[in-house]
Amino acid sequence: MIWPFDLVILLLLVVAAVIALRVRDLLAASVVFGTYSFLICLLWAQMEAVDVAFTEAAVGAGVSAVFLVATVFNTRRNSSD
Amino acid sequence: MKALSLIVVLFTGSLLLSVVSLFPVWGNPHSPANANPISQFYINETEELTGVPNLVTAVLADFRGFDTLFETVVIFSAGLAVFSILGRPKRKRGDEKPEEDDPSENLIVIQTCRLVIPIMQLFALYVIAHGHHSPGGGFQGGVILGSSFILWAIARNLPTALQRLSSRKTMILACAGVLIYAGIGVICQALGENFLDYHILHYLLPATDAIMARSHAMLGVEIGVAFTVSSIMFGLYAYLSSQGREEGGL
């Protein structure tokens, strides 16, 4: 376990989570959501859970971010709240 | 109201954080999860029993094969749900060609995709076929394979990608994947063993013993999963990005 690495990732995780919730532009929110998944993936890899990290990178950071973006393009771009 | 919810969130968060210190330390070999005789059995015996070094895949595809079968069915039915909600009756498609976008407009994007997509697909096949020796497997490989088609649909437009893999073929491949997985289980049953009890398959596979039969059957199962996952991923993208009309780009 490399604690400075952990600390940086966990801090960025919190920042990404707050941004994803606060930002009004839904496209930006879905991109930040992909970033969040990628950071989690780094955390799994660092804990030597490589299979889980691989799934998170492919499904969480890759395809589900694309699905979110594809869906945002068919709705309004800005959230009302 | 906002202040109230903030208090609730802070209270719950600090409660959760205070409990974290009670957890066993990361990587502790004597933690309940690691010391349990069942985990000890998987860690010590998997390679001997199945001939598969990656015990995550062995647990996923062999010991807990039933779970993974229904995970595949979950993805399949999620795809079915999206298709049936967003799908709409086809307009008459006479000799209409997919609208050609001007290739000189995004030449760099298209040429880069031409280079990247074959490598992605090759890597996906490696991840699927090598899933029981290294990290990976049907789910991850299937997602990578599906996203190579999605990349083509983003770089060009949806009809161009649907020419390669139409929504009809998508559905057939998704069904084929579930049938491959369940079929391997049924073959085991037909040979007189339990559903998904792979070791009996060495009667059918030449030059394999009961241990290698389990390894090979895992590969077959992973291929089934990859079929379903990759085609459903592309189908989901095609339907979500065009509201089921199967036209236009992103």
Domain that holds residue A29: 3-72
Q: Which of B233, B242, B243 to mutate to test the interface with A (most CBs of A within 10 A)?
A: B233
Number of neighbouring beta carbons within 10 Å of residue B109: 13
Rounded to the nearest 10°, the torsion over CA B69, A53, B122, B179 is 10
Tell me how many domains chain A contains: 1
pLDDT, tens only, B7-17: 999 999 999 99
Chain B hits for A34, CB-CB cut-off 8 Å, are: none
Q: Where are the domains of chain B?
A: 54-81+104-250
- Chain-chain contact of B140 with A73 (C-beta, under 8 angstroms): no
- Statement: residue B125 has pLDDT above 90: yes
Chain A hits for B136, CB-CB cut-off 8 Å, are: 51, 54
Instruction: Return the structure tokens found at B235.
Output: 């189908």
Round to whole Å and give the CA distance between B29 and B50.
24
- Chain-chain contact of A58 with B250 (C-beta, under 8 angstroms): no
Confidence of residue B98 (pLDDT cuts 50, 70, 90): low
Please name the member of A51, A62, A74 whose beta carbon is closest to the beta carbon of B56.
Answer: A51
- Statement: residue B91 has pLDDT above 70: no
pLDDT, tens only, A9-47: 999 999 999 999 899 889 999 999 999 999 999 999 988
A69 in contact with B, Cβ within 8 Å: yes
Residue A9 domain-assigned (yes or no): yes
- Chain-chain contact of A62 with B143 (C-beta, under 8 angstroms): yes
Residue A18 domain-assigned (yes or no): yes
Quick one: average pLDDT of B58-84?
92
- Statement: residue B92 has pLDDT above 60: no
Residue A81 domain-assigned (yes or no): no
- Chain-chain contact of A54 with B136 (C-beta, under 8 angstroms): yes
Q: Which residue has the tokens 């394999």?
A: B208
Q: What is the 3-state secondary structure (H, E, C) of B185-240?
A: HHHHHHCCCCCCCHHHHHHCCCCCCHHHHHHHHHHHHHHHHHHHHHHHHHHHHHHH
Residue A77 domain-assigned (yes or no): no
Q: What is the ipTM of this complex?
A: 0.87
Residue A78 domain-assigned (yes or no): no
CB B124 within 8 A of CB B141: yes
| Closest CA of chain A from B207, distance in Å | 31
- Give buried/exposed letters for B88-97 (b at 16+ CB in 10 A, else e): eeeeeeeeee
3-state secondary structure of B244: coil
Instruction: Give this prediction's pTM.
Output: 0.87
pLDDT above 90 coverage of chain A, percent: 59
DSSP structure string for A14-75: HHHHHHHHH-SBHHHHHHHHHHHHHHHHHHHHHTT-HHHHHHIIIIIIIIHHHHHHHHHTTS
Confidence of residue B104 (pLDDT cuts 50, 70, 90): low
- Statement: residue B96 has pLDDT above 60: no
Residue A11 domain-assigned (yes or no): yes
Residue-level pLDDT at A53: 93
Residue A34 domain-assigned (yes or no): yes
Mean pLDDT of chain B: 88
Helical packing angle, B210-242 and B167-190, nearest 10°: 160
Who has greater pLDDT, B77 or B208?
B77
